[in-house]
Structure 1
Amino acid sequence: MKIRATALAAMLLLPAALHAQTPAPDSPRTDSLVAQVAPPDPVRSFMYELADPLSLANALVLGLYDHARTEPDEWGGGFDAMTQRIASRGGGHVIGTSVRHGLAAALGRTTDIEPCHGCTSTEDRVTHSVIDTFTDRDATSRRVISEPFLAGTFAGAIAPTLWHPDSNLGDGIKAGVWSVLFTTAGRVLFAVLEPLVPAEGAAAERR
């Protein structure tokens, strides 16, 4: 797997990074004045991310991209090879998501996106997005390095090397690094564009 191809594949993950800004269904509304009584259901959060339509669409697009360049070459062409490549990308998503949420549950961490309360400038939002990407809240609400995010990202990138005949661990690690970088870039891009996104309340008023 060449670095150029890996970079292009990682760039296709940007929409998923932007979509990840949307909290899971159990997350509290940012404008809610009512304290959250119970923590988000980790099983529901896991299923929500596992079946995320945009993530599944990314697996489809990346699988079609792999098929167009006949990667891996040993799988050949045709419909069966195309479905195999799409399934390979989907398998990486399933494994990465499972590792992230499983480790988060074991460590007592949250996998939800934390809104940037009190951010009044683009610099504040960008700083928060970078910090929130690489950290989680533990049981005491203290920020700690997000081992679940890093482990899940690299697990999802390395997993396909187990069944790709022309890939190795080094290819998986490079893909994981690109995925981390572009996930961060996607979060930063959303933070910059966030003021252009209509607020839910404002949209409701216009209706």
Structure 2
Amino acid sequence: MTVRRILLAALLLLPAGLRAQAAAPDTLSAAAAPADSAARDPVRSFVHELADPLALANALALGLYDHARTEPYEWGGGLDALTQRIASRAGGHVIGTSVRHGLAAVLGRSTDVEPCHGCVTAEDRAAHALTETFTDRDASGRRVISEPFLAGTYAGAMAPTLWHPDSNLVDGLKSGTVSVLFTVVSRVLFAVLEPLVPVDGL
């Protein structure tokens, strides 16, 4: 994968990171434990994320990107191939979201993103974005490593290897790692630039 392709994919995925970081107007501090964080309606949260217009737009944009570079090559060109590529990206989103929310429900974790309350400096906001990316709240409100985020991201990235010709597990692992990196970069970037962004307009 060339640097140009990585940068293009990052630009396509950036809106999802912005949406995730700006999901709510305010929050408790990163160290605080909201008592009801894991008790919110998990089904409603799952459906909302599954049908998120920005996530669907990402699937469309990435499907168009795949079609422009004829990836996978075996699917050829034309409208049928374009539809297949968009459906493939959408399928990865559905599987990844399902795994993340399903595992979170089993483990009693919250999938809510807590915007930083009381963060003054860019370093504070960036640290909070990293914390929010890799941790969840358990049923008691305590922060723990976010197995649902990691499992969902890798599952969504690896799922297309089931239907892509000449694709394998290693390709899926690479794609999952790139997806994690893009999520981190987009959330940290938005956190640093947050004071300059009109959040109400997102």
TM tier, smaller: 0.7 to 0.9
Shift of 1:118: 1.7
Alpha-carbon deviation of 1:80?
A: 0.5
Cα contact 1:3–1:174 (8 A) shared by 2? no
Structure 1 residues without counterparts, runs of 5 or longer: none
Change in Cα spacing, 1:193 to 1:8, as seen in structure 2 (3 Å) is closer
Q: Decide whether aligned partners of structure 1 residues 14 and 43 sit closer, same or farther in structure 2, where only a CA change above 3 A counts.
A: same
Instruction: Specify every segment of 5 or more residues in structure 2 that has no aligned partner in the other structure, as ranges.
Output: 29-33
RMSD (CA atoms): 2.3
Q: Which amino acid aligns with 1:126?
A: A
What secondary structure does 1:111 align onto?
A: coil
2:27/2:117 contact within 8 Å kept: no
1:42 maps onto 2:42 in alignment: yes
Supply the distance in 1 between the matched residues of 2:13 and 2:199 (Cα, whole angstroms): 25
CA shift at 1:114, angstroms? Answer: 1.1
User: One-letter code of the match for 2:108?
Assistant: G
Measure the CA separation in 1 of the matches of 2:171 and 2:181.
16
Q: TM-score, normalised by structure 2?
A: 0.88
- Change in 2 beyond 3 A, CA 1:139/1:31: closer
Equivalent-residue separation in structure 2 for 1:17 and 1:37 (angstroms): 24
Q: Highest CA radius of gyration, 1 or 2? A: 1
Q: Could you state the TM-score of these two structures normalised by the residue count of structure 1?
A: 0.86
- How far has the Cα of 1:22 moved from its partner? 3.1
**Aligned position for 1:30:** 26
**Which residue of structure 2 lines up, in the alignment, with residue 101 of structure 1?**
101
**AA in 2 matched with 1:139:** A
Aligned partners of 1:167 and 1:19: how far apart in 2? 31
Matched, 1:190 2:190: yes
Corresponding residue of 1:141: 141
Runs of 4+ in 1 over 6 A off after TM superposition: 35-38
Q: Is the 8 A contact 1:7 1:175 kept in 2?
A: no
Preserved CA contact (<8 Å) 2:88 2:160: yes
Whole-Å separation in 2 of the counterparts to 1:121 and 1:4: 31
Structure 1 counterpart of 2:80: 80
Alignment of 1:113-192 (within 5 A): 113-192=113-192
Q: Which amino acid aligns with 1:7?
A: I
Query: In 2, are the aligned partners of 1:93 and 1:156 still within 8 Å (CA)?
Result: yes
Aligned length: 194
Q: Secondary structure at the match of 2:21?
A: coil
